[in-house]
Amino acid sequence: MGQQCDDKYAGEILRSRRKAYALTSAEETYLPITVRCFTHLYHLLAGNIRSTMGQAANYCIDCAKSSTRLSGDAERETLYLEWLDGHSRALLKAVDSELTPRSWEIFDIAMFEFAGLFDPSVYASFGCKSAKTLSPHLRTLERSGVVASFRDESDKRRKTIQVTPKGHLVHYARQDPMARLALEELESP
């Protein structure tokens, strides 16, 4: 589990990377992702900066492969949202057949009631009689890659379950489009 940086720094991270990789100091390096899109992705991936950087790189590579060079932020944001929708739906399609309706129910509770981070001792919140009855569903979710489990370093008996970046993208694909975090809801950079 990585440490989350303050939300206000997410856009600064992209700006500093763009500046660091500019060929000359006077040049504005072109990236198809805007600061607002990067911040959106950062929020979507629950503040995981490493995963945000990776997914932003995937998006930029996809744009480069298609030789797409957009001039304005509005065009870039539209293309980003189309890419995000397609990418997240492809991930959903890949895991959908692996998960049972009950596993999906467990996943949804993990996202909506625990923001993607919990320990098995809250089994009753998932409608289970014990941590042991919750365990098979967690293993199924873990095999599909939408959750991961971690042992507590100070107490090896304690386990934490966290929704993965892949899981956050799958969750995004499963949401009603009207319920998704919109770019407009983010503060302007």
For 74, list phi and psi in degrees, rounded to 5. -60, -45
Query: Is residue 160 scored above 70 in pLDDT?
Result: yes
Inside any domain, residue 49: yes
State the average pLDDT over residues 76-87. 93
Q: Are residues 88 and 27 part of one domain?
A: yes
> In this structure, is residue 1 part of a structural domain?
no
Picking from 9, 57, 54, the residue whose alpha carbon sits closest to that of residue 31 is 57
Does residue 178 or residue 73 have the better pLDDT? Answer: 73
CATH number (domain holding residue 126): 1.10.10.10
pLDDT band at 108 (very low <50, low <70, confident <90, very high): very high
Q: What's the pLDDT score for residue 180?
A: 73
Could you tell me if residue 86 is inside a domain? yes
75 with 25, same domain?
Answer: yes
Residue 82 shares a structural domain with residue 11: yes
Per the confidence metrics, is the pTM higher than 0.85? yes
Q: What is the pLDDT of residues 114-152, one digit of tens each?
A: 999 999 999 999 999 999 999 999 999 999 999 999 987
Q: What is the mean pLDDT of residues 92-98?
A: 96
Q: Does 25 share its domain with 74? A: yes
Asked whether residue 85 falls in the same domain as residue 106, the answer is no
Does residue 2 sit within a domain? no
What is the average pLDDT across 27-37? 82
**Residues 35 and 113 both lie in one domain:** no
Q: What is the pLDDT of residue 183?
A: 58
pLDDT tens readout for residues 45-60: 999 999 999 999 999 9
Answer yes or no: is 20 within a domain. Answer: yes
Same domain as 130, residue 80? no
Distance of alpha carbon 67 from alpha carbon 146, whole angstroms: 32
Q: Does 77 lie in the same domain as 136? A: no
Q: Which range is least confidently modeled, 26-30, 41-45, 66-70, 153-157? A: 26-30
Give the model's pLDDT for residue 9: 81
Q: Which residues contact 129 (CB under 8 A, 6 or more apart)?
A: 123
Same domain, 64 and 137: no
* pLDDT score for 185: 66
Does 33 share its domain with 13? Answer: yes
Predicted confidence at residue 171, as pLDDT, reads 96
Residue 136 shares a structural domain with residue 117: yes
- In the DSSP assignment, the letter for residue 98 is T
Count of structural domains, the chain: 2
What is the domain extent for residue 36?
7-96+180-185
- In this structure, are 20 and 50 located in the same domain? yes
